[in-house]
Amino acid sequence: MDAIETYIRDILDFPKPGIVFKDLTPLLNDAKATTMCLDALLYQLGGAKIDKVVGMEARGFFFGTLLAQKLNAGFIPVRKPGKLPYKTLSETYALEYGTDILEIHEDAITKGDRILIHDDVLATGGTAEAVCRLVERLGGEIVQCNFIMELEFLKGGEKLKPYSIGSVLKY
């Protein structure tokens, strides 16, 4: 995984002072690195059957769609309010200062669908936890929550304890 890590760029003080942002655009800019990362994400699944991949806006869409294609599964976008055109379910979740909302189409999951939840980074876990609640409200069975990077010091994995978590890189 060291080879993948070389494609992750640290941006100091973004989006605000004191934050070190993990930028994956250099990874996306290199076809071999993208393939290597995709293969690592797939490996974490251990051959598990997946019906649908749920990706979070917006960086979860990059590899979420690639995962869905490789798994011969559907892709479901989860977005901020007002971005999805059909009837939605919404879930409010806590941020460091305040709350936010995520939405999913109400017909995106059929009861019993085996779901892979994907995002680029697991930080505090609030976003992933909210998506898990949406998936379960629609009757989906969460097979794994998987991430390119996990910021372990933020302890987001604690919010996802009932679920299998896969992370290619850990910081």
Please give the positions annotated as active site. Answer: 59, 96
**Distance in angstroms (rounded) separating the CA atoms of residues 66 and 31:** 12
Q: Which amino acid is it at 165?
A: I
**For strand 88-95 and strand 9-12, is the pairing parallel, antiparallel, or unpaired?**
unpaired
Quickly count: other Cβ atoms within 10 Å of residue 122's Cβ: 26
- Three-state SS at 43: helix
Distance CA 94, CA 9 (A): 27
- The CA-based angle 67-125-42, given to 5 degrees, is 20
* Cβ partners under 8 Å of residue 85, min gap 6: none
As a whole number of angstroms, the distance between CA 45 and CA 33 comes to 19
